Amino acid sequence: MLSAAGICFGQSISDYGLIHIPSKFKDFKDNQYELNDLLASKLTEKKYIIVNNNSLENDPCQVLNAEVKNTSNMLTNRLKIEFKDCKNVTIATFEGKSMIKDFEEGMQDALLKALKNVGSPKEIPTQQPQKNIATSAEIQATEKENSAKNNPAPLESKTVAKAEIYSNGALSLNKMVISDHQFILANPNLSVPYAIFKATSKKEVYQVQLDNGSTTLGYLEDGKIVIDMPTADGNFKKEVFIRK
């Protein structure tokens, strides 16, 4: 059994097109239950652009800041998504709860239910300069890099890895690692990921969600990324991406 509610104020989230998601929510550990990635993925599907405030050239008041709060009790996994403007004024709040007892599944379930009340932007954002568009992984990398600059490690330093580029001959995509179990292939000119890969129980085999919402399988083969791409006649064809 699921439940959700949304509260909107003078303005609504649909008045904005750009949203910043922190690498860590105050009530959760770093990307705990993969809530940061899930929120970024679902908002992107709704045509919002996820941005990194540290590199945003536009007016920061064009951006909403997202925060997820843990409001669970002993019986239900429950959370609240808040969207605030540049003046820290709450624009909209969405609540979701799930009776699923497992923490990870229950929290993800509650987040998805809350997001059902989030509409798309009234005006779909136009393409932003590439350095203003960021995946959840890029946001985490930038914030960790800034943190490292402010709090340098005494014995070792870490560098932020650059995106790997893969091509099928006609299309070049950035591979961005979201977690140990998930990565995406993204067209740098589009806000919606080309494909989202989630690990299965079999090594190097992934469940793949395509940009049109359909799902299929993908796998790694001799350093290449292969997608079983559905065809119009109900069959599949191999689409092979080779690292450049």
Full residue range of the structural domain in which residue 214 is found: 162-243
Structural tokens at position 100: 């699923």
Residue 18 backbone phi and psi in degrees, to 5: -115, 135
Residues in the chain: 244
Phi-psi sector, 29: left (phi>0), alpha (psi -120 to 50), beta = beta
Do 13 and 90 reside in the same domain of the chain? yes
Domain of 21: which CATH number?
Answer: 3.30.160
- Reported as half-sphere exposure (CB side, CA atoms, 13 A), residue 204 has a value of 8
Do 114 and 10 reside in the same domain of the chain? yes
Which of the residue ranges 17-31, 149-163, 170-184 would you say has the lowest mean pLDDT?
149-163
pLDDT of 148 higher than 60: no
Do 57 and 125 reside in the same domain of the chain? yes
Rounded average pLDDT over 23-50: 89
In a domain, 89, yes or no: yes
pLDDT of 155 higher than 50: no
End-to-end CA distance of the chain: 47
| pLDDT band with cut points at 50, 70 and 90 for residue 25 | very high
In a domain, 184, yes or no: yes
Do 7 and 85 reside in the same domain of the chain? yes
The 3 state secondary structure assigned to the chain is CEEEEEEECCCCHHHCCEEECCCCCCCCCCCHHHHHHHHHHHHHHCCCEEECHHHCCCCHHHEEEEEEEECCCCCCEEEEEEEECCCCCEEEEEEEEECCCCHHHHHHHHHHHHHCCCCCCCCCCCCCCHHHECCHHHHHHHHHHHHHHHCCCCCCCCCCCCCEEEECCCCEEEEEEEECCEEEEECCCCCCCCEEEEECCCCCEEEEEECCCCEEEEEEECCEEEEEEECCCCCEEEEEEEEC
Do 33 and 114 reside in the same domain of the chain? yes
Instruction: Please say which residue of 122, 138, 154 terminates a domain.
Output: 138
Do 125 and 200 reside in the same domain of the chain? no
pLDDT at 11: 66
Strand-pair partners of 236: 230
Do 7 and 120 reside in the same domain of the chain? yes
C-beta separation of 3 from 96 below 8 A: yes
C-beta separation of 144 from 150 below 8 A: no
In a domain, 169, yes or no: yes
Instruction: Please say which residue of 138, 153, 188 terminates a domain.
Output: 138
* Residues 164-223 pLDDT 10s: 899 999 999 999 888 888 899 998 777 678 999 999 989 999 999 998 888 899 999 999
C-beta separation of 125 from 49 below 8 A: yes
Do 33 and 133 reside in the same domain of the chain? yes
Do 227 and 108 reside in the same domain of the chain? no
- When divided into structural domains, the chain yields a total of 2
